[in-house]
A = this chain, B = another copy of it.
Amino acid sequence: MTTDSPAVAQTDPGPTDAMIADVFSRGCTSRQALEAVTGRWGVLTVAGLRDGAVRFNALRRRIDGVSEKMLAQTLQTLERDGMVVREVRTSIPPHVEYSLTGLGHRVADRLVGLLDVLEGSVDEVTAAQQRYDATRGQAS
């Protein structure tokens, strides 16, 4: 965290004085970017583009469960926030490729770290879930 500021976090989001980026305050651009990345499909989309340019439907096949609509929307948001580049090949047949920008790569690197932790902690998570469900009494 760059700035630990519990007192100023709840003031108005106007960028009046110092431009201290703070994800904890709503209205900060970094929070928009965070929401773009951590939206329902953001993480997997960015992570899926990490190995290089990928075409729309290839990416869709890779990210199990994403709908065309949501993938398109997610990619557009990420493109707008400067993390993804969209390239249209006007060849025949025309196809569209997506890739990461420099910022996108920097984000992706952190994300992959997260993913690794999560993938490596499956057993721990499963155990915790079972413990929790046993205590609280229901699974659904």
Chain A residues within 8 Å of B, Cβ to Cβ: 1-4, 6, 9-10, 19-30, 32-35, 37-40, 42-44, 47-48, 50-51, 61-65, 79-83, 103, 106-107, 110-129, 131-133, 139
Can you name 11 A-B pairs with beta carbons within 8 Å? A1-B47, A1-B115, A1-B116, A9-B64, A21-B122, A24-B47, A32-B125, A35-B40, A80-B139, A82-B129, A103-B124
Q: Is the interface of A mostly helix, strand, loop or mixed?
A: helix
Contact of A43 among B29, B34, B83 (CB under 8 A): B34
Cβ B114 vs Cβ A107 within 8 A: yes
User: Which B residues are in CB contact (< 8 Å) with A38?
Assistant: 38-39, 42-43
